[in-house]
Amino acid sequence: MHHDKIDTDALVIGGGIAGLQAALDLADQGFRVLIVEKQPSIGGKMIGLSKVFPTLDCCSCICTPRMAEAEHHPNIAIMTYTEVRHVRREGDRFIADLVKKPRYVDEDKCTGCRLCEYACNTELPHEFEGDLGVRKAIYVPFSNAVPQVALLDLENCILCGRCEKVCPVGAIDFLQQPQETVVRAGTVVVATGYETIRTDFKKEYGQGRLPNVLGALQVERLLAPHGPYGRVLRPSDGKVPDSIAYVQCAGSRDRSAGVSYCSRVCCMYAIKQAMLLCGTLPLADITIYYMDIRAFGKGFEQFYQNAKAMGIEFVKAKVASITEDQQQNPIVRIEVIEEDGRVEQRQHDMAVLSLGLVPGWDPREVGLAAPAPDGFIRCTQPMIAPCRTPDEGVFVAGCAAGPKDIPDSIIEAGAAAMEAAAYLHEHTHVAGKETTTTCMK
């Protein structure tokens, strides 16, 4: 196995919007930053969203420049497709052991031309499209991925050699091995984000087996201009849906799913998606089944009122179960909260679960302090220093500390960067100001 050593001021774990912002804020102050991202591209969940509440800005348009800025910043190095195995303290430095997984494509040679992808005949579900579209066995992760470098899924490759034949720069390398790197850093920022609870979390909601019951992140892709179908169609038969149901608190505030907290963004993203669906499917009926609407941020209440004015139906009800009829139309059984618990059944063409947010990572896996009881990174002084963790010199940003929206993740990333900068000044000899690093992708 190949071994490398990197010396840097700050190690940022996670290349979502929070990690990118923390890295940029540190790098702009002259610190050298290494971003480690486990996926083949930076961008996190944000780069997969369609538009954002409450402004309805195109997500790609506001996230891609951030990704490019980090990629081209002279003080930022990025390692994608890389996992952190262990973090330990040695004197005033942190030592992190990283493993870069093989892409089987030479990153220095690949130009992202996609000729390999066009030549490949093996089709597989596309993870970036929520498994709704297909990708090839060799593929660039998505159109605005950073870096624009192909990746070979060797497990599903039939080794036909077509990609190798068409690659104009000889970048395909079937023999590539994992690469170990040891990083010495003065501080660590954890920005590992969240996952949505799995669609099969509840047997009453079809356990992920009903094809027209989707998770909200899948609907973000259906609504994206460059999404899997290019328009909103239901997966089972490609029908344009006329009636769409949103099931709020799917997994959040639900002790049976192990998630007792409110996930904070589901009300707003459901309202956003409902508005976008009204725009793209003007004849469709959209119903949101909710317990409470939590529209607490700036401009959120007006956004909610606008949705009502657009004709979106809000029904204060708890969804007890979802089944399907013979045409695979979801049948939603509800208990109407406002009308003495009256039970009703309604048929829709498609149902969307507003899935709760759960932690993306357990810090104990790499030797850092145990998380809080909800599984997110523990903050030692949540009221006055919300970015500090039990590990001195390790700071947290974004959804790694708990569910939050993009503006709050960005604000917290700025705060984490300031705490990390102050820590570096106080505890280590900062060498970053006069040096630059190379981007390792």
Ligand X SMILES: Cc1cc2nc3c(=O)[nH]c(=O)nc-3n(C[C@H](O)[C@H](O)[C@H](O)COP(=O)(O)OP(=O)(O)OC[C@H]3O[C@@H](n4cnc5c(N)ncnc54)[C@H](O)[C@@H]3O)c2cc1C
The answer to the question of residue 128 lying near ligand X (CB under 6 A) is no
39, 75, 329, 437: residue in contact with ligand X (rule CB under 6 A): 39
45, 103, 234, 388: residue in contact with ligand X (rule CB under 6 A): 45
Contacting ligand X within 351-380 (CB under 6 A): 360-361
Which lies closer to ligand X via its Cβ, residue 186 or residue 398? 398
CA 282 distance to own-chain centroid: 29
104, 128, 142, 194: residue in contact with ligand X (rule CB under 6 A): 194
23, 24, 33, 36: residue in contact with ligand X (rule CB under 6 A): 36
Is the previous residue joined to 363 through a cis bond, with omega within 30 degrees of 0? no
Contacting ligand X within 243-272 (CB under 6 A): 265, 269, 272
What separation in angstroms does the CA of 66 have from each of 97, 143, 195, 310, 395?
A: 27, 15, 21, 33, 21
Question: What residue ranges in 67-208 does DSSP mark as E strands?
Answer: 76-79, 82-90, 93-100, 123-125, 134-136, 138-139, 151-152, 179-190, 194-196
Fill in the per-residue mask, 67 to 106: x = in contact with ligand X (CB under 6 A), - = not in contact. Answer: ----------------xx----------------------
29, 148, 192, 248: residue in contact with ligand X (rule CB under 6 A): 192
The answer to the question of residue 44 lying near ligand X (CB under 6 A) is yes
Q: Which residue has the tokens 């994992």?
A: 178
The answer to the question of residue 188 lying near ligand X (CB under 6 A) is no
The answer to the question of residue 53 lying near ligand X (CB under 6 A) is yes
**CB 41, CB 82: distance < 8 Å:** no
Which lies closer to ligand X via its Cβ, residue 53 or residue 128? 53
Region binding ligand X by CB under 6 A among candidate stretches 63-71, 282-290, 396-404, 424-432: 396-404
- Measured CA to CA, the distance from residue 176 to residue 108 in angstroms comes to 13
Q: Find the helix or strand (DSSP H, E) in which 421 lies.
A: helix 406-427
Which lies closer to ligand X via its Cβ, residue 98 or residue 105? 98
3-class secondary structure, 320: strand
In the complex, least distance from residue 273 CB atom to ligand X, rounded to whole angstroms: 8
Which lies closer to ligand X via its Cβ, residue 171 or residue 363? 363
Which residues make beta-bridge pairs with 285? 243
Neighbouring C-beta atoms of residue 161, cutoff 10 Å: 12
Question: What residue ranges in 137-218 does DSSP mark as E strands?
Answer: 138-139, 151-152, 179-190, 194-196, 213-215
Which residues would be at the binding site for ligand X (CB under 6 A)?
13-19, 36-39, 44-46, 49, 52-53, 83-84, 191-194, 196, 216-217, 220, 265, 269, 272, 360-361, 398-400, 404-407, 409
